[in-house]
Amino acid sequence: MINLTTTLNGNVICPICHGENPPDEMFCGNEGCHKALGEFRYVEEEFQGQRKPLERIADKVSSFTSHPHFVTVHIVWFAIWIALNSGFMAYAANFDRYPFGLLGLLLGIEATFITGFLLISQNRQARYSEMRAALDYEVNVRSYRKLAELISIVEHLNERVASLDRDRT
């Protein structure tokens, strides 16, 4: 949990970007930040802070494989490979003749690594969703408690007012 720091004039300082916000602001006014200002856990920062080097690579790989460039790179790669090895071009290397066994092997290795990285990345995403859900639950429980507290105060006040009215009559 993060306690909010305030300036002398009551402005709230964002714990993430350290920008100053008016006291009644709910979210950080900084465009790139926009974090909720309150005593909340900052799940995304916490989550990114726990990231191990292999998970960092997995995230990069999964973001690249889901990008259209991934397909373009492979089309170009296959076109060059086939052109070099099918004897159309004179002086070409011809290092992997039809049916391109070396290309198949390389693609098999690539598929194995990509599958592994995608699974790592997916697990991380699932963990992140769980952390978000836990935060939602925590906020709900805290809201519920505060509400119950307020209801009991209102009930108590109501009783006091009623007893004062009774005494007066």
Residues that bind Zn ion (CB under 5 A): 14, 16-17, 19, 28, 30, 33
Record the tokens describing residue 103, joined without a space.
């290309």
- Residues 40 and 137: their CA atoms lie apart, in Å, by 12
Q: Which is nearer to Zn ion, 23 or 116 (CB)?
A: 23
Q: Which is nearer to Zn ion, 33 or 139 (CB)?
A: 33
Nearest distance from residue 44's CB to Zn ion, in Å? 12
Nearest distance from residue 27's CB to Zn ion, in Å? 8
Q: Which is nearer to Zn ion, 14 or 58 (CB)?
A: 14
Record the tokens describing residue 20, joined without a space.
């100053």
Helices of type H across 66-100: 68-85
Q: Which is nearer to Zn ion, 33 or 57 (CB)?
A: 33
Nearest distance from residue 43's CB to Zn ion, in Å? 15
The closest alpha carbon to 50, from 106, 124, 105, 159, belongs to 124
- Residues 23 and 11: their CA atoms lie apart, in Å, by 5
Nearest distance from residue 42's CB to Zn ion, in Å? 10
| DSSP secondary structure of 14-39 | PTTT--EE-TT-SB---TTT--B-SS
The closest alpha carbon to 43, from 11, 68, 16, belongs to 16
Record the tokens describing residue 48, joined without a space.
């990114």
Nearest distance from residue 37's CB to Zn ion, in Å? 8
